[in-house]
């Protein structure tokens, strides 16, 4: 593509919370689609997409780090960084502002179809409320998950992700397996 005054390169960052969501859901696909539609409506040229399948409470993520590296390498031509929703960037207020700052320092300009980012006091207030809400949702979800797992244990169910030693999981049922001789 030739450079002209209307060319505005963009990258997309999408995140889901787990590998299971990648296999069984369409979260990354729908985020990517919504961000591409947003970019097209604004005349941006999406040149790369970066994804992660891990918690938003962490700042260091492979896809995020790759995107920041890409932005730094292309700092001479600032890129728009499109996220589907503020919660896709981070699920913690500290992580949110750290990433927002890193994206800016790397030459990125953060945009989203869900929220308008700005540098005035009202924009920062709204952004803080939304980032804080995302953090609360993550923390509340964790509390509820632990509470439900404890109750399932009380009801006699096994709740760990992997079967206990000496057992194997076969299509929805836990069965004993021969123990290996050591």
Terminal Cα distance for the chain, rounded: 63
Span 64-77, mean pLDDT? 95
d(CA 102, CA 95): 10
- Report residue 78: phi and psi, to 5°: -55, 140
d(CA 155, CA 100): 44
Q: For residue 39, what pLDDT is reported?
A: 96
pLDDT(3) > 50: no
Helix then strand then coil, in percent of the chain rounded to 5, is: 45, 20, 35
Angle at 67 between CA 20 and CA 9, to 5 degrees: 120
Q: For residue 5, what pLDDT is reported?
A: 46
pLDDT(95) > 60: yes
Q: For residue 4, what pLDDT is reported?
A: 44
Q: Which distant-in-sequence residues (6+ apart) come within 8 Å of 76 by Cβ?
A: 107
Minimal CA–CA distance to 95: which of 132, 59, 136? 59
Span 119-131, mean pLDDT? 76
The rounded Cα 154 to chain-centroid distance in angstroms is 33
pLDDT(48) > 80: yes
Domains detected in the chain:
9-135 (3.40.50.1390), 140-176 (no CATH)
Residue whose entry in the numeric block shows the structure tokens 């709204």:
126
Q: For residue 112, what pLDDT is reported?
A: 93
């Amino acid at each position: 593509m030739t450079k002209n005054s209307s060319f505005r390169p963009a990258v997309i960052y999408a995140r889901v919370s787990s590998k299971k969501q990648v296999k069984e859901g369409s979260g990354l696909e729908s985020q990517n689609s919504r961000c591409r539609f947003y970019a097209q409506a604004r005349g941006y040229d999406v040149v790369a997409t970066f994804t992660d399948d891990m918690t938003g409470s962490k700042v260091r993520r492979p896809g995020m780090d790759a995107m920041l590296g890409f932005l730094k390498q292309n700092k001479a031509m600032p890129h728009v960084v499109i996220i589907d929703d503020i919660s896709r960037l981070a699920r913690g207020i500290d992580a949110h502002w750290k990433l927002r700052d890193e994206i800016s320092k790397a030459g990125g300009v953060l945009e989203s179809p869900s929220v308008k980012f700005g540098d005035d006091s009202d924009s920062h207030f709204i952004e803080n409320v939304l980032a804080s809400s995302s953090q609360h949702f993550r923390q509340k979800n964790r509390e509820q998950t632990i509470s439900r797992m404890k109750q399932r244990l009380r009801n006699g169910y096994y709740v760990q992700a992997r079967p206990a030693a000496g057992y194997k999981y076969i299509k929805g049922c836990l069965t004993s397996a021969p123990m290996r001789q050591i």
